[in-house]
């Protein structure tokens, strides 16, 4: 496939089309609207389903319905819209139907603004709806990685019958970069045996998140937690650069991780032994690899476009073995490499 | 020698195949059971049971998916029309219906039901209006009548405090995407038979791809109305029907031949 210059949102949409998404339900919200617009053209021309819903509440419940039929289905939104979808996420997770949700995060709280942000890390990794579960969360840092992770997101959703987020921020959604799209996958012709396809020659299939008896609902939770345990043990993903001899490792994901890489390279040029650790899965958080790094790394510096959210997971992974510093900007302010470099120098000078 | 007299037995009443052979949790005198049965009879008569997907609400009918012998899903409160939309868009050859009460459809889910109709979504909605929240123990619904006593309108619903009961059939009839909108009642046998014919028309509209169809069914809640089943049926006729007149509120031109065919 040739490399094309593509906007992040459009690339995410087309990657989903190539991955065989059969239905898209969404609602316009900046800064993800180009994704919906691309789908409004592409899905009908391919004979697939597209609905611009009346709200994010409706779109996630349309996703829930289509997911019950065992088709590949997705929606996309941005922070305030993701808040509205929380109800649906919870039902989907409990019902164990697969779907993919793209969250192009913007500045908050409240209506906030439409600038790039990572302020919804907690929302997607901790509490994507009421109840007791985690969604799988993938965080690309370039348009190419966004394209690649969209395909993985659908595969993971199907494999685990689970809710999978692909989280970007407004910068990744809006910027144009060269990327190579995967070839078009054929649509699946068979539906899974649990899917709602009509009780033709079999007993009815039921998809519900209701379980009135406490012991029976605990059994549902046990099944869900057993699945999440497998995901936690086998699906952690991260990438790192210059960590082998690093005394200080900067931890950042998505856009923040990418900007931090520039600052880390500058620090290396200045003779500091600094490396970069970039989580790709935010849940499961790549604690195994990060924890291993604490054997030789003397301190960690977490950089986020929020007031400090992932830093909690980093501290859990570090297990109190080494200091964990934090540098963040909020409100849609994107840090420049120079200020992260300054934070690196400050943390590095504290090393024994 | 005695000669055996063969008496041929004729089945005059049996469980429709589309109704599961299980006991329901509905209270004595509640008309949900009748509504379930006539929907199931229609699915049988149309021969669509094995390609039907029902979407249950939150409310008294939350377990309806256990009572229909079809594939089924349980929606979040009020979201059944959105969920049904998702199902229908990827399974256009299947019959998709929602079964919703008045709190589910006319309060928390009023946006979803109206927009399903504005899109002309090719689904069927069975709307059970019993003028009260049954499952949560008898609170005021959007359809509770003025003066009607509930646990959250003590002394009777006040129009000063709470406005007026919503007439959903009239509201939905004003939407261009609605193909067939009717209100019927379940308070006597004649009305039940009329209701069944309306439900059949609604499903036929869907089978012919004509757009959104809804049948509102005036229904009883003796438990939360705190009256006997017989008194409840009488109250539907004396108090509900005058405020919620029965009839067809929207019959698209293409739907009319479907009504004549029977």
Hey, what domains does chain A have and what are their CATH numbers? 3-234 (3.40.50.970), 238-349 (3.40.50.920)
Contact A62 B119 (CB under 8 A): no
Average pLDDT of chain A, as a whole number:
97
Strand partners, B248: B182
Give SS3 for B216: strand
Task: Evaluate the CA torsion angle A306, A298, A231, A185 in order and state its sign.
Answer: positive
Whether residue A65 and residue B82 make contact (CB cut-off 8 A), yes or no, is: yes
> Is any Cβ of chain A less than 8 angstroms from the Cβ of B62?
yes
| % of chain B beyond a pLDDT of 70 | 98
Instruction: Say how far apart CA A293 and CA A245 lie, in whole Å.
Output: 10
Mean pLDDT of A132-149: 97
Question: A21, A94, A99, A196: best mutation site toward chain B, by most B Cβ within 10 Å?
Answer: A196
A211 CB near a chain B CB, below 8 Å?
A: no
Residue A156 to residue A336: CA distance in whole angstroms:
34
Rounded distance, CA B107 to CA B9, Å?
Answer: 49
Q: Least CB-CB distance to A54: which of B51, B53, B115?
A: B115
Helix B189-207 with B32-46: angle, nearest 10 deg: 40
- Interface touch B89/A64, C-beta < 8 Å: no
Contacts of A71 in chain B (CB under 8 A): 90
Domains, chain B, in order of start with CATH, read: 32-260 (3.40.50.970)
| Tally of CB atoms within 10 A around B52 | 27
Report pLDDT for B2: 61
How close does chain A come to B15, measured CA to CA in Å? 17
Q: Is the pLDDT of residue B205 over 90?
A: yes
In A, which residues are within 8 Å of B76 by CB distance? 61, 64, 87-88, 91
pLDDT number for residue A43: 98
Tens of pLDDT, residue by residue over A259-312, are 999 999 999 999 999 999 999 999 999 999 999 999 999 999 999 999 999 999
Please compute the mean of the pLDDT values over residues A202-218 and round it to a whole number: 97
Sole residue written with tokens 């994901």: A253
Cα–Cα distances (Å) from A301 to A326, A330, A342, B64, in that order, read 5, 17, 12, 54
Dist CA B184 CA B247 (whole Å): 6
Chain A CB within 8 Å of residue B175 CB: no
∠ CA A78-A79-A80, rounded to 5°: 105
Structure tokens, B203: 């499903």
On average, the pLDDT of chain B sits at 96
Residues in B closer than 8 angstroms to A23, CB to CB, are 86, 89-90
**Chain B interface, mutation test: which of A43, A199, A200, A202, most B Cβ atoms within 10 Å?**
A199
Whether pLDDT at B218 is above 90: yes
């Amino acid at each position: 496939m040739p490399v094309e210059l593509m906007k992040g949102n459009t690339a995410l949409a087309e990657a989903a089309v190539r991955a065989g998404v059969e239905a898209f339900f969404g609602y316009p919200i900046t800064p993800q609207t180009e994704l919906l617009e691309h789908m409004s053209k592409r899905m009908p021309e391919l004979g697939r389903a597209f609905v611009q819903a009346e709200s994010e509440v409706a779109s996630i419940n349309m996703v829930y319905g289509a997911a019950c039929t065992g088709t590949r289905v997705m929606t996309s939104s941005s922070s305030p819209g993701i808040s509205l979808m929380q109800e649906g996420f919870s039902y989907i997770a409990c019902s164990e139907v697969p779907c993919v949700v793209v969250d192009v995060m913007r500045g908050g709280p409240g209506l906030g603004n439409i600038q790039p942000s990572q302020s919804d890390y907690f929302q997607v990794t901790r509490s994507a709806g009421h109840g007791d579960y985690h969604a799988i969360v993938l965080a690309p840092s370039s348009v190419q990685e966004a394209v690649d992770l969209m395909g993985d997101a659908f595969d993971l959703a199907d494999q685990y019958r689970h809710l999978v987020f692909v989280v970007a921020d407004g910068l990744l959604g809006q910027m144009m970069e060269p990327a190579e799209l995967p070839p078009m996958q054929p649509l699946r012709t068979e539906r899974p045996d649990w899917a709602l396809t009509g009780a033709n020659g079999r007993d009815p299939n039921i998809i519900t998140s209701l379980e009135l008896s406490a012991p029976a609902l605990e059994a549902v939770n046990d099944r869900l937690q057993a699945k999440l345990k497998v995901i936690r043990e086998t699906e952690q993903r991260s990438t790192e650069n210059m960590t082998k001899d690093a005394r200080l490792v900067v931890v950042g994901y998505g856009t923040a991780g990418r900007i931090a890489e520039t600052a880390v390279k500058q620090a290396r040029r200045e003779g500091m032994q600094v490396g970069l650790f970039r989580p790709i899965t935010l849940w499961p958080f790549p604690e195994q690899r990060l924890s291993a790094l604490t054997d030789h790394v003397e301190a960690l510096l977490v950089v986020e476009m929020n007031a400090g959210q992932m830093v909690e997971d980093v501290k859990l992974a570090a297990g109190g073995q080494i200091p964990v510093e934090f540098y963040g900007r909020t409100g849609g302010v994107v840090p420049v490499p120079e200020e992260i470099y300054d934070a690196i120098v400050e943390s590095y000078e504290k090393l024994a | 020698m005695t000669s055996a007299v063969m008496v041929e037995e004729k089945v005059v009443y049996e469980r429709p195949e589309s109704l599961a052979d299980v006991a329901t949790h509905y209270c004595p005198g509640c008309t949900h059971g009748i509504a379930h049965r006539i929907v199931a009879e229609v699915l049988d008569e149309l021969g669509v049971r094995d390609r039907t997907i029902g979407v249950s609400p939150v409310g008294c009918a939350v377990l309806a998916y256990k009572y229909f012998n079809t594939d089924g899903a349980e929606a979040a409160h009020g979201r059944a029309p959105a969920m049904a939309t998702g199902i229908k868009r990827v399974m256009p050859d299947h019959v998709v219906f929602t079964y919703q009460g008045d709190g589910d459809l006319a309060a928390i889910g009023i946006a979803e039901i109206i927009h399903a109709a504005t899109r002309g979504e090719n689904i069927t909605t069975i709307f059970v209006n019993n003028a009260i929240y049954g499952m949560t123990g008898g609170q005021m619904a959007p359809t509770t009548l003025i003066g009607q006593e509930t646990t959250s309108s003590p002394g009777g619903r006040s129009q000063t405090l709470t406005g007026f009961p919503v007439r959903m059939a009239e509201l939905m009839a004003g939407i261009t995407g609605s193909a067939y909108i009717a209100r019927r009642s379940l308070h006597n046998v004649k009305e039940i038979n009329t209701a069944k014919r309306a439900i059949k028309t609604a499903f036929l509209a869907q089978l012919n791809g004509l757009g959104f169809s809804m049948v509102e069914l005036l229904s009883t809640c003796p438990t939360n109305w705190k009256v006997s089943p017989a008194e409840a049926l009488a109250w539907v006729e004396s108090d509900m029907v005058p405020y919620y007149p029965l009839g067809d509120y929207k019959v698209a031109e293409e739907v009319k031949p479907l009504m004549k065919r029977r």
